[in-house]
Every structure is written in structure tokens, then in C-alpha cells.
Structure 1
Amino acid sequence: MSSQNASIIVTEFIIGGFEKTNSSLLVGVVILIVYVVTVLANLVNIIFIIYEKNLHKPMYLLICNLAVVDILYTSSASPTVIGVLVAGVKTISYVPCLIQMFALHLAGTMEMFALAVMAFDRLLAISCPFHYHRYLTNARTLVLTYSLWIVASAFVAVFPATVSPLPHCYTVLKYTFCDYAAVIRTTCVDPEYYFNLVAIIYFFILVFTFSFICLSYFGIIFLVKLSSNIDRIKIGSTCLNHLIVVGCFYIPVFIVAFLTRLGVVLTLEARNGLLIGSIFGPSLVNPFVYCYRTKEIKCKISKIFKIFA
């Protein structure tokens, strides 16, 4: 099909990823509840860290940044999914679709960057406990965070930049929202080149951040061997929060990536389920991990409950 005689002007896309979903209203309500809980839980973390001066430390600034990323991650896709399943709104305009695609992939990239920096923060805190606050100040943490947002935006700008000039032959999105794969499949061109281009970028970021996290923990493990039993317990408790968060994000990502590279053809329902789970899972788990396993935040929540009890 040539783009010269088959292309069309697209003003909106039709979301077709839920056509075979059973009990769509029930699924939509569940996703709505999860989305509301996720946003509220992350907002609680952000508000506590901003208004509690005792939490104005590099580690908590990084937790705050992660909460912002999680809100963006879920909010980039959830309204569309909920609109389709609950309200029956199955269309999205062209420009909002590209904005959603950019926000979705920006949040996914920033999630990896944020987890990598948090791993380095833990390594620095354990290896240089007496000089930690001199090396990693609040100002340096903020500059590093802003820099990562700029770098991530530059990487992700490739997504809409490669899609927007292409002619479109279809208006139905195969998947559940405007991710890159769904939008590129509506064009009139062979998608293989564009998939490979973005796969290289994404693979580079994925491998770089995961390798950085692994190297940080190799350093931590080396230091643990040199520590006393009491120090080992403290180090383990400090790192466990981050390891849980890392696992929740990277495990689904690697499952999807490896299955795709191995040529395993997933059903539409399975792919959509993995994609939605990889977005909602980490964003829902992260705030509760840091709320209930971080002493300062947990104590603050306990005091609030005691006041209203």
C-alpha cells in the first residue's frame, strides 16, 4: 500500500485494544480505583517531603522525584484507558495522542534514570557515611534531577519526531493507548526501521541504567563483607526498599523485552495486560514501600492518625 494514494488525514485515532475485553466496565472501575490510590499515595509522599523540613535531604528529594515520575507515568495512560472502559470514549485526537505518547515514554525513561541515581545515592551513603552530605548536597541533587529530566526529554523527543512526518493509512490504534508501537502501526510505511531505531535507544537506556544499578550494588555487597553484623543489618534494611522498587519496574520490562526479542507472539490481551501492569505496578508499589519502610515518613503518618483518632 503506497503512501501516495492511500494516506489519509488523521484528526483522531480510534482505540481498539479493548474490543475483546470481557467485563470492560469492571476492569475499568478496578483501574480507576488503582489510579486514584496511586496518585493519592504518591501525593502524600510529595507533600510530606516538601512540608517536613527534616526530610529536606538528598535521599528524600530523590524519593520525591520518583513520586512525580510515577504520577506522570500513570496519568499519561490511565485517563484514556478509563475513558474507554468506563465512559465508552474510544477516540483520542491526534495532537493529544502524540503528547500522551511523549509523556508515557518520558516517564518510563525517567523511572529508569531515577532508580539508577537512587542506587548511586545508597552506594555513596554506605561507602562514605561521614562525607555523604558534603558530596551529595540538596543543591547538587536538584541539579542532577533537572539534568536527567532534560536528557530524558531529549531521548524521548525522537518518538514524536519520527512519527509526526509520516503519512497515516489507518485510524485504529491496535493497543490500549498512544504508545509508540501503536501509533507507528497506523502509518503507511514499513514500521521495522522505526521499531529498530527506537529499540536501540531504549535498549541503550535500559542496559545502561540496569548495569549502573548492578554495579552500585556490587560495590555495596563488597562493603557489606567488610562490615560488622549490626552494620550489615542496617545496610540491608537501607537497600531493601530500593531493591523492591527496582524489581517491580525491571522484571515486567525484561519479560516483555525478552519475549519480543525471542519472537514470542503475545495475544493482544496478554500484551495489553503486561503493558498496563508494567505501568501501574511500580507506580502503586513505590509510594507504599517508602511510606511504610521509611522511618521518618512512617512516624509522620502515625502522628497524623493519632491526631484524628
Structure 2
Amino acid sequence: MNGFDTVKRPVAVGVVILIIYLVSIVTNLLNILFIISDKRLHKPIFVVLPATVAPLPHCYSSLRYSFCDYAAVVRTTCVDPTYFFNIGAIIYSFLLFLTFIFICLSYCVILIFVKLSSSNDKNKIGSTLVSHLICVICHYCPAFVIIVLTRLGVVITLEEQL
């Protein structure tokens, strides 16, 4: 492992990494300060979403799914769940879409640096990208499947399928 010794422009790569690191630190600090300054943000978002369902009358005391998420809780109510599904789907899709776009843009920036690197570094960066891509797929595919399946009302528990 030679670090930046084999890169054509080691100072440029180091400066870019430093800038990205500093930007991430500053944005995380700003996020923490923003949350500290606004008392409404002291509750987790998952508490805010079920709060829209909690005041509704519930017809069922058990969930039809093997996990407790927003759609499963909405299905226990006695009201038409379409409105609540739409709210949850819009918020969750928006959050997934924004984070996915940010990750894709990050990969594009990394691919630009791959072009500037030597062949040995390209192999290292390529293997790192593949492992990260596997992690991203392992996160986003189940989240997407959960949104789609619970929205369509597909039964996932073993008791109901038998």
C-alpha cells in the first residue's frame, strides 16, 4: 500500500478528500445545532408519522405483517387507509430518492477520480465501489420492497399464508 504515492496528482486528491471531510463535519455540526435550537425536532421522525394514526379508531389489535411499520399500523385502523398510505409513501419515497441521488452523485465524483488514478489504484477503487454498491443495494431494495408490498396489501406473515 503506497497511499497517494502512485496517484498522478496526490496533492489534488488529498485536497479534495480534505474538503469533502470538512464539508461533512460542518454540515453535521449545523444539523446538530439546528436540532438543538428547535425543540420540535427533539422527537424522532418515526414518532411523528405514527402520531397521525394514533388518534384514529383501531379495529384490529394485531398486525398482519411480521414487522411493525407505518403501513402495518395504518391497516389496523377502521378508516380508509389510502390517504395515510399516500402521505407515508410521499414522505418515505422523497427521503429515499434524495439519499439515493446523493449516493449516485458521490459515485460519479469517485468515478471521475478513478480516471485520474493509475491502473493499480483503479482496481482498489473498483473493488471498494463494488462493496459499497452491494451495501447500498442491501439497504434500498428491502426498503423499496417493504413500501410496495405493504402498500399493495400483500400478506407477509406465515400464519396468514398457511
TM-score, reference length from structure 2 = 0.66
Shift of residue 268, structure 1, vs aligned partner: 2.8
Distance in structure 2 (CA, Å) of the matches to 1:243 and 1:250: 10
Contact preservation (8 Å) 2:66, 2:157: no
Q: Name the counterpart of 2:29.
A: 143
Deviations 1:5-46, CA, capped at 9 Å, x for gaps: xxxxxxxxxxxxxxxxxxxxxxxxxxxxxxxxxxxxxxxxxx
Shift of residue 186, structure 1, vs aligned partner: 1.7
User: Larger % of helix: which?
Assistant: 1
Unaligned 5+ runs, structure 2: 1-11
Distance in structure 1 (CA, Å) of the matches to 2:18 and 2:61: 53
5 Å-filtered alignment, 1:78-227, equals 128-133=13-18, 135-137=20-22, 140=26, 143=29, 146=32, 155-227=45-117
Distance in structure 2 (CA, Å) of the matches to 1:128 and 1:219: 12
Deviations 1:186-221, CA, capped at 9 Å, x for gaps: 222111101110110001001111111112112222
1:268 aligns with 2:153: no
Shift of residue 162, structure 1, vs aligned partner: 0.3
Q: Name the counterpart of 1:246.
A: 136
Q: Name the counterpart of 2:6.
A: none
Counting matched residue pairs gives 143
SS at match of 2:80: coil
1:231 aligns with 2:121: yes
Distance in structure 1 (CA, Å) of the matches to 2:34 and 2:70: 21
TM-score, reference length from structure 1 = 0.38
Structure 1 pair 249–143 and aligned structure 2 pair: CA distance change class (3 A): same
Shift of residue 146, structure 1, vs aligned partner: 4.6
Distance in structure 2 (CA, Å) of the matches to 1:212 and 1:182: 29
Structure 1 pair 155–260 and aligned structure 2 pair: CA distance change class (3 A): same
Contact preservation (8 Å) 1:155, 1:201: no
SS at match of 2:84: helix
Contact preservation (8 Å) 2:60, 2:77: yes
Deviations 1:215-257, CA, capped at 9 Å, x for gaps: 2112222322232212212322333332221121112233444
Unaligned 5+ runs, structure 1: 1-126, 273-309
Structure 1 pair 210–144 and aligned structure 2 pair: CA distance change class (3 A): farther
Structure 1 pair 170–266 and aligned structure 2 pair: CA distance change class (3 A): closer
Structure 1 pair 181–134 and aligned structure 2 pair: CA distance change class (3 A): closer
Shift of residue 267, structure 1, vs aligned partner: 3.9
* Farther-moved stretch of structure 1 (245-254 vs 128-137): 128-137
Structure 1 pair 229–149 and aligned structure 2 pair: CA distance change class (3 A): farther
Identity value in percent:
49
